[in-house]
Amino acid sequence: MSRFWSDLTHQLKPYVPGEQPKIADLVKLNTNESPTGPSPKAMAAIAAEAADSLRLYPDPEARALRETLARYHGVSPEQVFVGNGSDEVLAHAFAALLKRDAPLLFPDITYSFYPVYCGLFGIAFETVPLDDAMAVRVEDYRRPAGAIILPNPNAPTGVALSRAQIKQLLDEHPDVPVVIDEAYVDFGAESAIPLVAEHPNLLVVQTMSKSRALAGLRVGYAIGDAGLIEGLARVKDSFNSYPLGRPAQAGAIASVEDEAFFQASCAAVIAERGRLTAGLEALGFAVLPSSANFVFARHGARGGAELAAALRERAVIVRHFGAARTTDYLRITVGTDAQTQRLLTALGEILG
Ligand code: PMP
């Protein structure tokens, strides 16, 4: 390897995504994918687009999708930015908005992409510890900040702030960009989108990967003041002016238009989360209050790494994070009822 590449690879610590193993009859509860699937209307729209129009370039401004999202969220199309999954939208936000003179603040336990993007874009950051209940305390962000980013609900804890708490954070930081990453908001938390009208420094990022079951299509978006959105668009245009392919634009529009399916899917995940939580508690786990499509749970007597390995031997995959404060925890995606049963049976065997 040349000196140049080895220097670069030492500087950059890439994000390691959840694994996608090929094991027969696997219960895969490690990457917060939907256990069921997308709206049938979205699938039909994707198939129709693929059959008819792949020889044509997509709309580089994704106007129809942005108009659909604007109507849905009660904003104007100039306040909507779309990208290939919210990870790409976040990358543009880091590049365009979050490199400031003072450090970027985010929680010590949070989405592990944030420090990776800081490394990539040369952004100084400081982490703010979660409180004893593993929740974000808005008061702890009263310190010099160049910008702030938080997932709400937080990942991997699932614990959410209320809209009033996000408003307090915005009121206390009126002059720096604040990004709220709402990847999991549809599973019971309050979106900050209604605050955009009064807070031109707020950018809310959402994804179609979780509550809309379209992780494979790669559609994410941001909503904010038209000025912030213009900043993101400038960065995007410097990379690649096509935000999304035609099937992705068509499928995303059809998903947003199928509100009944969306509501039913979210309600099903929330109900299953209740059964999963009760089952884990019956086995002696403490489960953090989750507003997401996963739970973060700890068994007092057995470590997280040991439990994750024993589950894996039984073809059940969950996520374990090694950091000191999270080492006892498992992050478990809410699956189907049958998957919950397989998980609980396996844990029952392991715990004897
Ligand atoms: N934000 C958070 C907090 C996440 O957990 C994820 C999923 N790993 C993402 C953003 C990115 O999701 P996607 O790129 O699929 O939209």
pLDDT digits (tens, 9 = 90+) for 110-157: 999 999 999 999 999 999 999 999 999 999 999 999 999 999 999 999
As its CATH architecture, domain 7-37+259-351 has Alpha-Beta Complex (3.90)
**Residue 23: other Cβ atoms inside 10 A:** 11
* Identical topology for domains 7-37+259-351 and 40-258: no
Delimit the domains of the chain by residue range.
Answer: 7-37+259-351, 40-258
**Separation of alpha carbons 110 and 332, rounded Å:** 16
Ligand 1: does its nearest atom lie under 6 Å from the Cβ of 159? no
Q: Indicate if the pLDDT at residue 14 is higher than 90.
A: no
pLDDT digits (tens, 9 = 90+) for 255-294: 999 999 999 999 999 999 999 999 999 999 999 999 999 9
Model confidence at 175, pLDDT cuts 50, 70, 90, reads: very high
Q: Which atom of ligand 1 lies closest to the CA of 209?
A: 15
Expressed in angstroms and rounded, the spacing between residue 250 Cα and the centre of ligand 1 is: 21
The pLDDT value recorded for residue 223 is 98
What's the confidence (pLDDT) of residue 317? 97
Q: 348: CA distance to ligand 1 center in Å?
A: 31
Q: Which amino acid is at 22?
A: K
| Cβ of 221 less than 6 Å from ligand 1 | no
Helix spans in 55-84 (H): 63-73
Nearest CA residue ID for atom 4, ligand 1: 183
For residues 69, 70, 75, 79, the Cα torsion angle rounded to the nearest 10 degrees is 90
136 lines ligand 1 (CB under 6 A): no
Q: What is the DSSP string of 155-173?
A: TTT-----HHHHHHHHHH-
What does the pLDDT average to over 42-63? 95
Report the pLDDT value the prediction gives residue 238, as an integer from 0 to 100: 73
Ligand 1 touching residue 207 (CB < 6 A): yes
pLDDT in tens, 304-349: 999 999 999 999 999 999 888 999 999 999 999 999 999 999 999 9
CATH classification number, 40-258, choose in 3.30.1490.20, 1.10.10.10, 2.30.40.10, 3.40.640.10: 3.40.640.10
Element (H, E) at 262: helix 259-282
Mutation choice for ligand 1 from 187, 207, 244, CB with most ligand atoms inside 8 A: 207
Assess whether pLDDT exceeds 90 at residue 80.
yes
User: What is the structure's pLDDT at 25?
Assistant: 85
Give yes or no for residue 220 CB within 6 A of ligand 1.
yes
Residue nearest to atom 8 of ligand 1 (CA): 31
What pLDDT, on a 0 to 100 scale, did the predictor assign at position 16?
Answer: 64
Average pLDDT, the chain: 94
Q: What is the pLDDT of residue 28?
A: 95
